[in-house]
Amino acid sequence: MSQYIETLILSLRTRVSAVWTDVPANGIWEAEHATEFSWSDQTPPYAVFVFSLAQRSSWGMANLAYEFPLDLYYVAETQGPGSPIRAKLEALRDDLWANGALTGGQVYQVTDLNWGRGLLANQVLAKKNSLFRAGRLTLTCICGESP
């Protein structure tokens, strides 16, 4: 299963780089939990992939397919409440729907777009009096194979 997830993540990184062109290649980070990432220690704009555990999916014959939940964060400097963040999240969502078939899997559903103050990343950034704000795109991917 891990090779499917690694291939899918590489493919998602490619899509993120193509859509969020202001994020440098070395500005895409990965974390297992949002609480483990140092939100205010990076130079925006940057992206963060926060992973959840993959689970067997009913989509694959012989259970060779997995559902892989993922949060994609975009962090940038803002001039107002959420300035470019909503547009960036929507652009990536639209791109992933239009190009849903990725190497190693596909986007199955987008369940949330959030750029509000309640995001853990925004709470951390606000406590540090940062001008940076985050937005999150929550999605579920299907990866694996069908025999």
pLDDT of residue 77: 86
Calpha distance 26→3 (Å, rounded): 22
Q: Does domain 2-144 have CATH number 3.30.2000.10?
A: yes
Q: List the structure tokens of 88.
A: 């960036």
Q: List the structure tokens of 140.
A: 């579920």
Sequence-ordered strand ranges (E) for 78-118: 101-102, 105-114
Q: Would you list the domain boundaries of the chain?
A: 2-144
Q: DSSP label at 61? A: G
**Reported pTM:** 0.86
Q: DSSP label at 42? A: S
pLDDT tens digit string along 36-70?
888 888 888 999 999 876 666 665 556 677 788 89
- Report the greatest alpha carbon distance in the chain: 53
| Predicted confidence band of residue 147 (pLDDT cuts 50, 70, 90) | very low
Closest CA to 130 of 53, 72, 59, 75: 75
pLDDT tens digit string along 68-124?
889 999 999 886 555 689 999 999 999 988 876 778 788 888 888 998 889 999 999
